[in-house]
């Protein structure tokens, strides 16, 4: 397949990054991965190469190391950048905000300065539905008011603002801010998947670690919310759909000007108990759980209005919650300790 061009993927060894690298290689892109492996493993990159042999190079580099980032970018012509690298644990960001502002915001500014010096201005950035705070209306459209409840969320919001300011100040930048809802699941092969280094913050990896025997039971944070079954509702989206969204976003950069935010979600919400039920079906056994206290800061119910993604990127999620659970379980059961 003729090369589409070369894309620099920061954070390409991580959960969403590794799946996106497979999708990019499958679509004929050459891929340059830059990752410091602070929350990932080089094995993930090896498995990406196994799943989709192609033109991939890997550099273990911290994004805040300007000279090292410059050296990677100078090694070969880069056509576009997908910027995943960042820390993402909400609780940890409350305890150590400076680490988050340094690793997420300062690192992004460093990357953008390096890119600007070389006139590389096509960027796709990993934003999050967390920038909508506690939305007044669902489904949430891109025009909804922005706010954030944690240093992690604010780091995403600040970075979005930086991109908007930059695109307004300097012609030529073409930036898609992809606001992911809740990526879960794993590659259908079961070879790559989410491998949190610490106790998982998110529901699905926790549920799957219970299923595989690494944890005793799940604690559901709150069973008395004003939802049909009393538990919080989120828009879970298969990571392979998210990966496909990035390939579509790169193709769409030619059609946009300046900076544009786009939701990546399915448009459907599922409650915690619905996820536990779907996961139990995929695993073939009940997932033990208890209902605990509400977790401070949790939003009651949110799901995406994904119509702009379809209009602008020609992309739409098509995998179901059952697909997400089946694929996540295939990964977890065949790799009970992740990449270790």
Q: Find the part of the chain contacting ligand NAD (CB under 6 A) among 33-41, 205-213, 215-223, 279-287.
A: 33-41
Residue 275: C-alpha distances to residues 84, 89, 302 (Å): 26, 21, 15
In sequence order, the 6+-apart residues with CB closer than 8 A to the CB of 148 are 130, 131, 133, 154, 156, 157
Nearest to 20 by CA among 53, 41, 48, 61: 48
Which of 64, 150, 36, 152 lies closest to 100 in space, CA to CA? 152
Shortest Å distance, C-beta 164 to ligand NAD: 18
Residue 262 near ligand NAD by CB under 6 A: no
Residues binding ligand NAD: number (CB under 6 A): 28
Nearer to ligand NAD, 103 or 271 (CB): 103
Q: Give start and end residues of each alpha helix (H) in 27-150.
A: 42-51, 66-75, 90-95, 97-100, 107-117
| CB of residue 254 to ligand NAD, shortest distance in Å | 24
**Catalytic status, residue 152:** yes
Q: Which residue is nearest to ligand NAD (CB)?
A: 14
Of 23, 30, 36, 133, the one binding ligand NAD by CB under 6 A: 36
- Residue 86 or 223: which CB sits closer to ligand NAD? 86
49's tokens: 């190469």
- Of the candidates 63, 207, 233, 249, which one interacts with ligand NAD according to CB under 6 A? 63
Asked whether position 13 contacts ligand NAD by CB under 6 A, the answer is: yes
Query: Does residue 231 bind ligand NAD (CB under 6 A)?
Result: no
The one catalytic residue among 100, 101, 132, 152? 152
**What are the structure tokens assigned to 112, written together?**
């953008």
State the nearest-atom distance from the C-beta of 325 to ligand NAD, in Å: 16
Nearest residue to 186 (alpha-carbon basis) of 194, 174, 198:
194
Asked if 37 interacts with ligand NAD (CB under 6 A), we say yes
Rounded to an integer, what distance in angstroms lies between the CA atom of residue 30 and that of residue 53?
11
Q: Sketch the per residue contact string, 68 through 107, with ligand NAD: x for CB under 6 A, - otherwise.
A: ----------------xxxxx--------------x---x
Query: Looking only at residues 152 through 191 of this chain, which bind ligand NAD when binding is defined by CB under 6 A?
Result: 180, 182-183
Work out how close the CB of 242 gets to ligand NAD at its nearest, in angstroms, rounded to a whole number: 9
* Sign of the Cα pseudo-torsion (303, 154, 204, 43, in order): positive
For position 15 contacting ligand NAD by CB under 6 A, the verdict is yes
Cα 217 off chain centre by: 26
> Binding to ligand NAD by residue 192, rule CB under 6 A?
no
Helix (H, G, I), strand (E, B) or coil at 289: strand
The single-letter DSSP state of residue 254 is G
Residues numbered 276 to 315 that lie near ligand NAD (CB under 6 A) are: none
Q: Which position has the token pair 């089946």?
A: 326
User: Using CB under 6 A, which of the segments 35-43, 227-235, 266-274, 292-300 binds ligand NAD?
Assistant: 35-43
Please tell me what DSSP assigns to residue 281.
H
Q: Which two tokens stand for residue 293?
A: 């206290």
The residues carrying an active-site annotation are: 152
Residues contributing to the site for ligand NAD (CB under 6 A): 11, 13-17, 35-40, 62-64, 84-88, 103, 107, 126, 128, 180, 182-183, 202
């Amino acid at each position: 397949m003729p090369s589409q061009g070369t894309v620099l993927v920061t954070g390409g060894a991580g959960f969403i990054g590794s799946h996106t690298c497979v999708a990019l290689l499958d679509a004929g892109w050459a891929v340059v991965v830059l990752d410091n492996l602070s929350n990932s493993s080089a094995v993930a990159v090896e498995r990406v190469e196994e799943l989709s042999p192609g033109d991939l190079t890997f550099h273990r580099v911290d994004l805040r190391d300007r000279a090292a980032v410059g050296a990677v970018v100078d090694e070969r012509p880069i056509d576009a950048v997908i910027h995943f690298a960042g820390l993402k644990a909400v609780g940890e960001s409350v305890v150590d905000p400076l680490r988050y502002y340094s690793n997420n915001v300062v690192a992004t500014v460093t990357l953008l300065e390096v890119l600007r010096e070389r006139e590389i201005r096509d960027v796709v950035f990993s934003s999050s539905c967390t920038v909508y705070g506690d939305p007044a209306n669902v489904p949430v459209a891109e025009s909804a008011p922005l706010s954030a409840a944690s240093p992690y969320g604010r780091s995403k919001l600040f970075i979005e603002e930086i991109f908007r300011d930059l695109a307004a100040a300097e012609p030529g930048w073409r930036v898609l801010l992809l606001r992911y809802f809740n990526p879960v699941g794993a590659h259908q092969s079961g070879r790559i998947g989410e491998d949190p280094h610490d106790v998982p913050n998110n529901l699905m990896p926790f549920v799957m670690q219970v299923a595989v025997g690494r944890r005793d039971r799940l604690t559901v944070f709150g069973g008395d919310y004003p939802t049909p079954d009393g538990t919080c509702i989120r828009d879970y989206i298969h990571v392979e759909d998210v990966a496909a969204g990035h390939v579509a976003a790169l193709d769409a950069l030619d059609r946009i000007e300046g900076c544009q935010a786009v939701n990546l979600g399915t448009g459907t919400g599922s409650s915690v108990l619905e996820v536990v039920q779907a996961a139990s079906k995929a695993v073939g056994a009940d997932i033990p759980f208890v209902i605990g206290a509400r977790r401070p800061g949790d939003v009651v119910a949110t799901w995406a209005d994904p119509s702009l993604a379809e209009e602008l990127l020609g992309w739409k999620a098509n995998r179901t919650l059952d697909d997400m659970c089946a694929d996540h379980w295939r990964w977890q059961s065949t790799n009970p300790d992740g990449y270790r």
